[in-house]
Chains A and B, each alone.
Chain A
Amino acid sequence: MRVSLTVNGQRREDDIEPRTLLVHYLREVAGLTGTHVGCETSLCGACTVLMNGRAVKSCTTLAVQAEGAEITTVEGLARDGKFHPVQEGFWEEHGLQCGYCTPGMIMMATDLLSRNPDPSEAEIRAALEGNLCRCTGYQHIVNAVRYAANKMRAAKGA
């Protein structure tokens, strides 16, 4: 079946089986392997991408449900070879160890900061509830999101 959607600003049309999950479409059809598959059971958040600006678990979404949607993956964040502030935050604040959870964490944090530019630590932790990390103990991830929030507000001249 034919799907047409926009991935990281590029329009695509592909023929896929209706049962193709969005995460498999992104990784195997669009060739974007930045989005990870972790638990496959909707719990870990490693597969989080933005669909029309909002974070969704792409292992629990059929690609055909994304018809006409705008999808953003971790590959779509950097601009002109420069990290997005959230990516920079994870780099500067050591927000990752093995990196498996990182693309999902970054996409979830991007959703949060688009709705709430100045989240408290409690709000950050609540937003990341659906994203699991087996390495960092989360504190550095929270710091990374705070870093990004400050940087993005400063850039806006707030």
Chain B
Amino acid sequence: MFPAPFEYHRAGSVKEALSMLRQFGDDAKLLAGGHSLVPMMKMRLATPAHLIDIGSVRELSGIREEGGKIVIGAATTHAQVETSDLVRRKLGLLAECAALIGDVQVRNRGTLGGSLAHADPAADYPAAVLALDGEVSLESESGARTVKADDFFIDLMTTAAQPGEIVTAVRFTPPAPAAGYAYLKHRQPASGFALVGIAALVTLDGKGNFQSVRVGVTGLCAKAFRAKAVESALAGKGRDAIAQAAAHVTDGADALSDIHASSEFRSELARVYTRRALEQALARAKS
């Protein structure tokens, strides 16, 4: 099993990749880690005529602190995120999420930007990036812009990134050190993808009640989303409110159904994992 023929181009910089994107237009695809694209090309579900490899573009990879934010380059691998001291200390939720993606080999190749751009409905990162209020940096030949995670995921494998745009980085404002978090997923046993994945990030007030709650949901629907009904049901409330609030995760959700899980089963998983993620986040939070 191998891909259909294509022409391969190695970009040395973002600028070069952007000019290649313009030159080859709709016939071209960017290649980062290749751990979503290459399997699709082997199955001939994707047959791009040109591949533009951004995997060795130095400026796209790495993790740094910049004006109080943590900036993670698009081509940074899951393994680098999972093991970064900075991410573990300041964005524990993201490190916890990265560590649960696929298996070691997948994490050694797959990248943050590739995962977000691909927007697989069962991908893990989108849930954590939504809960952490991440900002996706995009660059095209006409300039750079930033899209909040809330506005980035549009539909099944569809994002706010336009043709001719490259995801260059994701920016995060670290949550307060006292915040509690959890990423929990129910794995599809073969691939490890999330049948349902829930990211919860909470802060508490002086009485130990919820002050702020953010819940990112992946796997349940065609796109990852924030469970705003759960978040608002918990404002100012305590532990006792979790079970009832968690049930709201499926409010208005058009749950996916496939050979791995019916929409009823996915919905039930979402309610249970939302409850568990909130309980764990609360237990880890300090008031």
Contact = CB atoms under 8 A, between A and B. Distances in A.
Interface of A: 1, 17-21, 24, 40-43, 45, 48, 51, 54-57, 60-62, 64-65, 67, 108, 111-112, 127, 129-131
Interface of B: 1-8, 10, 31, 34-35, 38-39, 41-42, 51, 53, 55-56, 79, 102-106, 108-109, 190-192
B39 A62 contact: no
B38 A56 contact: no
A17 B104 CA distance: 28
Contacts of B8: 1, 18, 62, 64
* List of 3 A-B pairs having minimum Cβ-Cβ separation, nearest first: A130-B103, A18-B8, A129-B103
Contact of A40 (B10, B42, B79): B42
A55 B2 contact: no
A43 B190 contact: yes
Nearest to A130: B103
Contacts of A112: 104
Nearest to A69: B56
Contacts of A51: 108
B54 to A, nearest CB: 11
Contacts of A130: 102-106
Contacts of B34: 60-62, 65
A18 B103 contact: no
A60 B79 contact: no
Contacts of A131: 103
A125 to B, nearest CB: 11
A24 B2 contact: yes
A42 B104 contact: no
Contact of A127 (B7, B104, B106): B104
Contact of B106 (A17, A20, A57, A111): A57
A20 B35 contact: no
A51 B79 CA distance: 14
Contacts of A55: 104-105, 108
Contact of A129 (B35, B108, B192): B192
23 contacts: A1-B8, A18-B7, A18-B8, A19-B4, A20-B2, A21-B38, A24-B2, A40-B1, A42-B191, A51-B108, A55-B105, A56-B105, A57-B106, A57-B109, A60-B38, A60-B39, A60-B109, A61-B38, A62-B8, A65-B34, A111-B104, A127-B104, A131-B103
